[in-house]
Structure formats: C-alpha cells, structure tokens
Amino acid sequence: MLSKESAHIVPDRGIEGDRYYEKLGTFSKKSQSYRAVTFIESEALEAAMRDYKIDIDAQETRRNVLTRGVSLNHWVGQRFEINGVQFEGTELCEPCAYLEKLIEKPGLRTALIHRGGLRAKVLTEGTIQVGDTLRAIADE
C-alpha cells in the first residue's frame, strides 16, 4: 500500500493504478463498480488505539482514502463529491477476518466494527488530492 498526494478516479474502475482498477485484488472476481473506492476515517484508527490498544496506520487498513472530520457511516446511499469527482456511498466497509489475519493484528476486526469505512461507486472522472473537502451533492 502506498500513500499518494493525489489520485485519478475513473467511473466503474476506481483509482488508476490500484490493484482493483487493474483487476488484481483478492476480491476482483466480484463486481467492483459499487465498491470502486473505499474510505476510512482517521478518527476510527485513533479510536482503535484508544479503545483497544491496536496501533494501525491508514495503509494497513487497505482502504483507498483517509478522511478526517467526516462521519462516513452517514454517507451510505448518499451522493457526495471531492474536488468535483462525484461518488455514491453504497455500503459500510466492515472489517473482515482476512484483513485481521493479513496484517497480523488480533482484535482489529472488533476494534473497527461499524467504523471500518465506506464503499463507494464512482460517478464522474477526475483527480482528488490530499486536503480536498468531501461534501454532499444537493438533490437536483
């Protein structure tokens, strides 16, 4: 996992260069459009340390975008945008046993239950950057 300052986002594919964009991810055989990009709150990682004494950095979560100051659980079924790139939150990204085993952090699954992030469908193409703001798209 690599941290980047910006990422090019493509509808139905996700983040250019990502393992799922290239169809090389563990779960690539499943339909990916509804889960093209994943988000996680930095506050969730801080809570895992505070409440469970599990130190995990953003790259270890295997989520694509790290947020701050946004309650991602509220974005399921909602449309939002980041720097003009539009997304639709599709479902919570609950932690799985595979992740816990892969990064060898027992208890991680419990620590991130209901705060493991958000899966989203990409609606428009564009580039997002560190520091961009996530905001709701008004109903049209």
pLDDT value, residue 8? 97
Report CA torsion sign: 12, 99, 29, 23: positive
What residues make up the domain containing 122? Answer: 6-134
- 18-33 pLDDT, tens per residue? 876 766 655 555 656 6
Establish if 1 belongs to a structural domain. Answer: no
The tally of domains found in the chain comes to: 1
Q: How far apart are the first and last CA of the chain?
A: 37
pTM attached to this predicted model:
0.87
- 57-93 pLDDT, tens per residue? 888 888 899 999 999 999 999 999 999 999 999 999 9
Establish if 75 belongs to a structural domain. Answer: yes
CATH number of the domain that residue 82 is part of? 2.40.33.20
